[in-house]
Amino acid sequence: MRLEVIILAAGEGTRMQSSIPKVLHTVGGRPLLDHVLSVARDLKPEALHVVVGRSGADVRAYFEGTDVAWVEQIEQKGTGHAVMQAIDDVESSAMVLVLFGDVPLIEKVTLEACISAAADGIGVVTVDMPIPDGFGRIQRRSDGQIEAIVEDKDATPAQRTITEVNTGILAAPAAMLVRLLESITARNAQGEYYLTDIVGLAASQGVRVAGVDATSPEEVQGINDRIQLASVERYMQRREAERLMADGVTIADPSRLDLRGTLVAGQDCFIDINVIIEGVVVIGDNVSIGPGCVVTDSELADGVVIEAHSVVEGAVVGANCRLGPFARVRPGTELAEGACIGNFVETKKAIIGAGTKANHLAYLGDSTIGAECNIGAGTITCNYDGVDKNETHIGDGVFVGTNSTLVAPLTIDEGAYIAAGSTITSKVDSEDLAVGRARQRNIHGWVPPTKRK
């Protein structure tokens, strides 16, 4: 059967106390709506309809160029009214799944069960909530079928004791949904058109309404304020950490890992405390990431060790490389096997050969450096002349002494030596020793200014 998804994302989110539309606030480094769109796409729908409100322009701009069909809800008249705005664009033969843009952790398996339950009626996702205040209560018949959903503000004291609550997520055939929506009214405490009212109508007409249990309250937690946002963030991080551990990654403390993107990891990796993973990161086997590191949009091959408090962004790191502590590896860096980038070394657009070491206090930018080179402490590639970035090319087996300044554009051929403390501005040929420093003078009898007084 053809599947179309309607995502309700028109809420203003006033309790967020923010100028940012609620569905653009982030969990795991991604907007809430992005999570919902992702799981919806996993279901392979024929169409994705997203209903937005007064801040819709910002939401549309963020997701510009995607496969979303946007629908505007000019007046906020409830969830039923929101679905009414989109239903005209849905094919009458389709199965419709209704999701919420502020419920980011809903899982594919739950949605598949909901769609299956709607094959001969309506499927509704429910959850048992120990403290159900604020949620619509599920009323069931003696045979277990759902007969109504009663909103909290309209519930009687007896109905408020029910702990099975509505999540808002449901599936129904489009033709049935259209017919039921035409029958609901706004005669309730909120003066709104409740989508949940279609359940009671359907049940009264003999339509089967089946409940589908969510895996946990956290899976279907909607986000209305920053407290709930933080709660969902921590739950998601714990879930992702457990997934990684099940796949063979050792995590020093699952509560102190932040995954703000995706991580694909090999076996026997170790991630220490307070590590942040951003964007798309792929790591091989036996990779170790030390405490306080940030790794963004990078590939780390087998055996890489990143020591404490290092930042790696947009880099490709070869097997058995060692970085840090306190290294900064910036975008465009490529390290061949066994290269070392040590403490307080920064690289940017640097291609560094196998076995090359820059162990201390260096800046290597816009550079190509061969294999088995030694880059001494304090070495700087001067790549910017005030207008353009210029490149430094260093051959294999070059020794660069401590505190050297390499002024680009510059070529240093294989096997050359740069004397410590040199400023090098012109090409150095193979096997040559380049010395670029002033002759030392010792002035005897010099009196410091403080003693002159």
Query: Are 78 and 173 contained in the same domain?
Result: yes
- For the chain, the domain total comes to 2
99 with 162, same domain: the answer is: yes
Tell me: do 305 and 187 sit in the same domain. Answer: no
Which of 220, 254, 280 terminates a domain? The answer is: 220
Q: How far apart are CA 7 and CA 49, in angstroms?
A: 6
- What is the distance between the alpha carbons of residues 412 and 431, in angstroms, rounded to a whole number? 10
**Domain co-membership, 187 together with 252:** no
Extended strands (E) in 23-75 = 26-27, 30-31, 47-52, 68-72
Q: Which residue do the tokens 């003078």 mark? A: 441
Q: Are residues 214 and 250 in the same domain?
A: no
Where in the sequence is the domain holding 341, given as residue range(s)? 242-434
pLDDT of the residue at 142: 86
Is 70 exceeded by the pLDDT of residue 453? Answer: no
Q: What is the pLDDT of residue 152?
A: 87
377 in Cβ contact with 400 (< 8 Å)? no
> In whole angstroms, what is the distance from residue 207 CA to residue 244 CA?
43
What pLDDT score was predicted for residue 216? 93
On whether the CB atoms of residues 180 and 202 are closer than 8 A, the answer is: yes
Whether 392 and 366 have beta carbons less than 8 Å apart is answered as: yes
On whether residue 429 sits in a domain, the answer given is yes
For the segment 280-303, the average pLDDT, to the nearest whole number, is 98
pLDDT of residue 325: 98
Q: Are residues 278 and 216 in the same domain?
A: no
pLDDT tens digits for range 36-77 = 999 999 999 999 999 999 889 999 999 999 999 999 998 889
Which candidate, 356, 388, 361, places its Cα nearest to that of 374? 356
Quick check: is 277 in a domain?
yes
User: What is residue 411's predicted lDDT score, i.e. its pLDDT?
Assistant: 98
The predicted pLDDT at position 379 comes to 98
Residue 304 burial (CB < 10 Å; 0-12/13-18/19+)? buried
Q: Is residue 227 one of the residues assigned to a domain?
A: no
User: 20 CB contacts (<8 Å, ≥6 apart)?
Assistant: 58
Tell whether the model's pLDDT for residue 86 goes beyond 70: yes
Return the exposure string of 243-258: e unless at least 16 CB atoms fall within 10 Å of the residue's CB, then b: ebeeeebebeebeebb
β-bridge mates for residue 5, sequence order? 48, 97
CB 421 within 8 A of CB 439: no
- Please tell me the distance from the alpha carbon of residue 24 to that of residue 132, in angstroms, as a whole number: 27
Query: What's residue 15's pLDDT?
Result: 94
Residues 260 and 201 in one domain: no
Instruction: Give tens-digit pLDDT for 103-134.
Output: 999 999 999 999 999 998 999 999 999 999 88
Same domain assignment for residues 216 and 253: no
DSSP state of 332: T
pLDDT reading at 285 higher than 80: yes
Which has the closest alpha carbon to 13: 24, 21, 4, 1? 21
pLDDT digits (tens, 9 = 90+) for 259-276: 999 999 999 999 999 999
β-bridge pairing 294-296 and 275-283: parallel
- Judge whether 384 and 400 are in contact, CB under 8 Å: no
DSSP 396-424: TT-EE-TT-EEESSEEE-TT-EE-TT-EE
Summarize the confidence of residues 345-369 as an average pLDDT. Answer: 98
Catalytic residue among 25, 35, 309, 360: 360
The answer as to whether 442 is a domain residue is no
On whether the CB atoms of residues 95 and 4 are closer than 8 A, the answer is: yes
As a whole number, the mean pLDDT across the chain is: 95
Residue 223 near residue 104 (C-beta atoms within 8 A) = yes
User: Do 131 and 201 share a structural domain?
Assistant: yes
pLDDT for the residue numbered 144: 85
CA atoms within 13 A on the CB side of 137: 19
- Please check whether residue 225 lies inside any domain of the structure: no
pLDDT at 33: 98
Which residue has 């004291």 as its token pair? 157
User: Which one is predicted more confidently, 150 or 382?
Assistant: 382
Binning pLDDT at 50, 70 and 90, where does residue 450 land? confident
Question: Which among 313, 101, 261, 137 has a CA at the least distance from the CA of 211?
Answer: 137
Give 143's pLDDT tier (boundaries 50, 70, 90). confident
Domain check: are 8 and 145 in the same one? yes
List the one residue out of 393, 375, 390 whose CA is nearest residue 429: 393
Query: Is position 118 within any domain?
Result: yes
The CATH number linked to 169 is: 3.90.550.10
d(CA 268, CA 239): 19
Query: What is the average per-residue pLDDT within 282-289?
Result: 98
Residue 353 and residue 335 in contact, taking contact as beta carbons nearer than 8 Å: no
pLDDT tens profile 202-250: 999 999 999 999 999 999 999 999 999 999 999 999 999 999 999 999 9
Where does a domain end: 220, 255, 275?
Answer: 220
Q: What single string gives the DSSP state of each residue in 308-326?
A: TT-EEES-EE-TT-EE-SS
Diameter of the chain measured on Cα atoms: 109
pLDDT score at 375: 98
Residue 452, pLDDT above cutoff 80: no
State how far the Cα of 443 lies from the Cα of 436, in Å rounded to an integer. Answer: 22
Which of 155, 185, 220 represents a domain boundary (last residue)?
220
Residue 360 catalytic?
Answer: yes
Domain with residue 265: its CATH number is 2.160.10.10
CA distances (Å), origin 310, targets 119, 294, 352: 53, 7, 18
> Given pLDDT bands bounded at 50, 70 and 90, which one contains residue 94?
very high
Q: Kind and range of the H or E element at 117?
A: helix 108-117
* Cα–Cα separations (whole angstroms), residue 46 to 1, 50, 72, 431: 10, 14, 20, 66
Question: Does residue 174 share a domain with residue 73?
Answer: yes
pLDDT for residue 186 is more than 90: no
Position 188 scores a pLDDT of: 78
pLDDT tens string 292-333: 999 999 999 999 999 999 999 999 999 999 999 999 999 999
Q: What percent of the chain has pLDDT over 70?
A: 100
Indicate if 30 and 165 belong to the same structural domain: yes
Query: Is residue 232 one of the residues assigned to a domain?
Result: no
Is residue 109 a part of any domain in this protein?
yes
At 269, give phi and psi (nearest 5°).
Answer: -90, 160
